[in-house]
Amino acid sequence: MTSPTRRQIGTSILWSGAGAALLRVGQLAVGVFAARVLVPHDFGVFAIAMVVYAVVVNVSDLGVSSAVIREWERLDELAPTAVTLSLVSSALIAAATAMAAHPVAVALGAPESAPAIQVLSLVVLLAGPSAVPSALLTRGFRQDLKFRADAASFLAANLTMIPLALLGWGAMALAWSRVLGQLASVIVLIVLAPRRYPPRFDRRAAGELIRFGVPLIGANLVGLALDNADSVTVNRVNGTPQLGSYTLANNVASWPQGLMQPILLNVGLPLVSRLRTRPGLLERFVALSLSITTGSFYFGSAVIGALAGPLVLTLYGSKWTAAIPILSVLAFAGAVRGMVTPLTDVLVACRATHALFVINLVWLVVLVPSLVLGSTTLGPVGAAWAHLATLLLVVVPLMFFYIHRVTGMALREPLIGMLRPFLLASLAAAAAYLVSRLCTIPWTGLVAGGVVASALYLVTSHRWIRDQLRAAHALAGLLDDPEPEASTRSGASGGDGP
């Protein structure tokens, strides 16, 4: 008989995956339309505005969302204060963002992005009321309800963007679409939230939430600097039009993450929060998640990288040719980032947010000079190579080191488990590249390469896929066992990090 926990997790995964797939298809269609109507300069201006937005929106709730998601014992005590903190902080940060828009835009080398930054500050304001309702749905594995909010946001955003883009609003069409999309999402999340907590303030609860959230915010800020350092560097070194091509390539490279990361984000943290006191199950989860993300993230990214040329020419047109070599590299960088996402969830669930902060800080310190060097010598392609090299040589080893330090788990078996899907996906991507090179028309190369890669991967990996599904099913079934597994590892229960 299917256990309640297994059923909840399975339903959450299905809704997260199906919702992400449907929305991604819609976003692809809208993205193709926008790329055909707008020019690289518009994308570059909006990319700079999004740099500022991404920073402020991710600190606007002071990290209370993650605290609510991981809290299983004292939710009623903490949630009302979490509501208050998210409302007040988002309002203050939104006001500061609007007032500082022009000097910040000038400092980033794109003064024309200031109006878009001011508009996006409204999205930050609207993020406050949705923080706790969204966290409650994630905590309860109710991705079916979150999908309704995502769908409402998608429809509202694009029903705004398309006419404004046709009217020649450029980057402002993209900015206002974000505002209307966020407004629709907030309304749906509040209506569908399983519980509604009125705002109250308790000093002790606030202190606990802030102590948990501040290191996480620090890690997120450094992570956001990592996400956007390339945009700022390319803009200042190579110019806004080049940044537009880089942004398009980065968006396409994120397609596999767009499909898989909602599952990891919506299921990973609440699931690991239940497993953090059960080291044996936690180790099995890490091994399984690394294997599955390698087989999914890496396969999708490798095929995109192999088919970068026909993909860009078919969907976006020849004016985006400069994005092709950038995409070939960023696709693989995106795959590596996707594969470390489960490890990030483990550190957060084990309260090792300080470790996450250290990892991101070292990552940033190494990445920034690498980006400058790469952009100066090779242009935007050099920036892409800087990302990939830093991930492989610095971030991945450091992440594994801290996972072992915080949890005490051995990582040899998880690493071995990643090898088979990596080799099979690489073989499929190589076949896709060779087939596409035989085709003279871009769209035929895209279709033929994609079909060959998918067929070859399914034929060679069907037994592996079956084994992973069985392992996931068995692991979910053990979650309802009230007796935690015994552990002989002294560090297995986690800690506060370094």
- Provide the 3-class DSSP secondary structure of residue 479: coil
Please tell me the predicted confidence (pLDDT) of residue 483.
46
Closest CA to 308 of 294, 296, 321: 321
Main-chain dihedrals φ then ψ at residue 45, nearest 5 degrees:
-60, -45
Q: Specify the pLDDT at position 260.
A: 66
Q: Which of 340, 242, 310 is nearest to 447 (CA)?
A: 310
Query: Quick one: which of 289, 400, 275, 414 has its CA closest to 342?
Result: 289
Q: Give the confidence band of 265 by pLDDT, cuts at 50, 70, 90.
A: low
Read off the pLDDT of each residue in 340-359 and give the average, rounded to a whole number. Answer: 78
Q: Distance of CA 392 to CAs 332, 337, 367, Å?
A: 10, 10, 12
Average pLDDT over residues 7-14: 57
318 vs 73: which has the higher pLDDT: 318
- Tell me what pLDDT residue 448 has: 95
CA 144 remoteness from chain centre: 19
- Please give the structure tokens belonging to residue 259: 């499909």
CB-facing half-sphere around the CA of 286: CA atoms within 13 A: 30
Nearest residue to 311 (alpha-carbon basis) of 18, 35, 26, 50: 35
Q: What is the pLDDT of residue 4?
A: 46
| Residue pointed to by tokens 């409650």 | 136
pLDDT(346) > 70: yes
pLDDT at 497 over 70: no
Confidence label for 17 from pLDDT (cuts 50, 70 and 90): low
**What would the two tokens of residue 82 be?**
């979490």
- With a cut of 90, say whether residue 453 has pLDDT above it: yes
For residues 227-234, average pLDDT: 81
Question: Which tokens belong to 6?
Answer: 């297994």
pLDDT of residue 311: 94
Q: What is the pTM of this model?
A: 0.64
Give the per-residue pLDDT at 373. Answer: 94
Cα separation, 429 vs 224, in Å, equals 30
**Which tens digit of pLDDT belongs to each residue from 123-134?**
888 888 887 788
With bands split at pLDDT 50, 70 and 90, how would you rate the model's confidence at 235?
A: confident
pLDDT exceeds 80 at position 204: no
The Cα–Cα gap between 59 and 64 comes to 10
Residue 297 neighbours by CB under 8 Å, 6+ apart: 256, 257, 260, 334, 335, 338, 339
For 151: left if phi > 0, alpha if psi spans -120 to 50, otherwise beta; the answer is: alpha
Q: Answer with the residue of higher pLDDT: 349 or 478.
A: 349
Give yes or no for a contact between 252 and 307, defined as CB atoms under 8 angstroms apart.
no
- For 392, half-sphere exposure in the C-beta direction (CA atoms, 13 angstrom radius) is 12
Angle between helices 308-315 and 299-306 (to 10 degrees): 70
Picking from 254, 255, 263, 334, the residue whose alpha carbon sits closest to that of residue 16 is 263
- Nearest CA to 287 among 421, 406, 397? 421
Report pLDDT for 491: 38
Q: Which helix (H) or strand (E) holds 251?
A: helix 240-253
Q: Is residue 350 helix, strand or coil?
A: coil
Other CB atoms within 10 A of residue 222 CB: 20
What pLDDT score does 59 carry? 63
